[in-house]
């Protein structure tokens, strides 16, 4: 009987130790499991922030604005760097209305000159003044020498006709007065210089630029 009690006590003691060891093992396994999960969690946390940080950085950092070319960096267009030759420039002026100005001025100047040579008693300068004034306001010929010749001829016509008109009866002058006669003679001489200048200009346009008027203003209509 005592042995049975001792055995049962030993058995109970062994069972208690076994139970204690089993519980300890379970606790230790649970601890290992928790530690393993913590390690896995830490690893996943270390891998994830890389992509997350990149996405967060790209989302939070504004993209740099695209640089736009400044006016100095823009290459000029070919048309802007190419200039017309003098011949092409004068031809452009001639064909875009310049010829009309030449024909009108030469035509009215030729008519006034012809009337003067026929000793016409009354010469109306109104058409001449209007035509010359319009030509003076028109765009200049894009060639310095040619424009100078054109401008000078127009000035001679305007000034000479003005002197004749002011000293004549139409300008309420007195043609019998010696000063008026002198002014009229001077006016016609200057007007003649203007006519010579127009003819020289016509020749220059033909020789230098190959440009001819569609009609000859100096031809005798008769």
How confident is the model over 82-141, as pLDDT tens digits? 588 999 999 999 999 999 999 999 999 999 999 999 988 778 899 999 999 999 999 999
DSSP class of residue 102?
H
Pair 191, 113: CB distance under 8 Å = yes
d(CA 161, CA 176): 18
Compute the distance between CA of residue 6 and CA of residue 58 in angstroms, rounded to an integer. Answer: 76
Tokens of 184: 């009229």
Q: How far apart are CA 58 and CA 41, in angstroms?
A: 25
Instruction: Please tell me the distance from the alpha carbon of residue 192 to that of residue 197, in angstroms, as a whole number.
Output: 9
Measure Cα distances from 31 to 16, 28, 43, 45, 152 in Å.
Answer: 22, 5, 18, 21, 114
Q: Structure pTM?
A: 0.62
Name the DSSP class of 192: H
Q: Please tell me the predicted confidence (pLDDT) of residue 151.
A: 98
């Amino acid at each position: 009987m005592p042995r049975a009690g001792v055995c049962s006590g030993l058995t109970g003691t062994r069972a208690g130790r076994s139970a204690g060891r089993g519980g300890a093992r379970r606790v230790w396994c649970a601890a290992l499991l928790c530690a393993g999960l913590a390690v896995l969690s830490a690893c996943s946390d270390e891998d994830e922030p890389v992509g997350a940080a990149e996405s967060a950085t790209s989302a939070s950092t504004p993209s740099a604005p695209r640089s736009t070319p400044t006016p100095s960096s823009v290459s000029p267009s070919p048309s802007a760097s190419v200039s017309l030759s003098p011949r092409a420039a004068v031809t452009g002026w001639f064909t875009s209305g310049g010829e009309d100005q030449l024909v009108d001025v030469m035509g009215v100047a030729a008519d006034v000159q012809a009337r003067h040579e026929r000793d016409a008693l009354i010469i109306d300068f109104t058409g001449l003044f209007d035509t010359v004034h319009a030509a003076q306001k028109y765009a200049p010929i894009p060639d310095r020498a040619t424009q100078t010749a054109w401008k000078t001829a127009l000035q001679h016509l305007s000034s000479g006709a003005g002197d004749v008109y002011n000293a004549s009866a139409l300008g309420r002058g007195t043609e019998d007065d010696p000063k008026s006669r002198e002014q009229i003679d001077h006016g016609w001489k200057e007007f003649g210089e203007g006519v010579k200048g127009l003819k020289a200009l016509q020749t220059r346009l033909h020789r230098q630029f190959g440009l001819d008027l569609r009609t000859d203003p100096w031809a005798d209509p008769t």
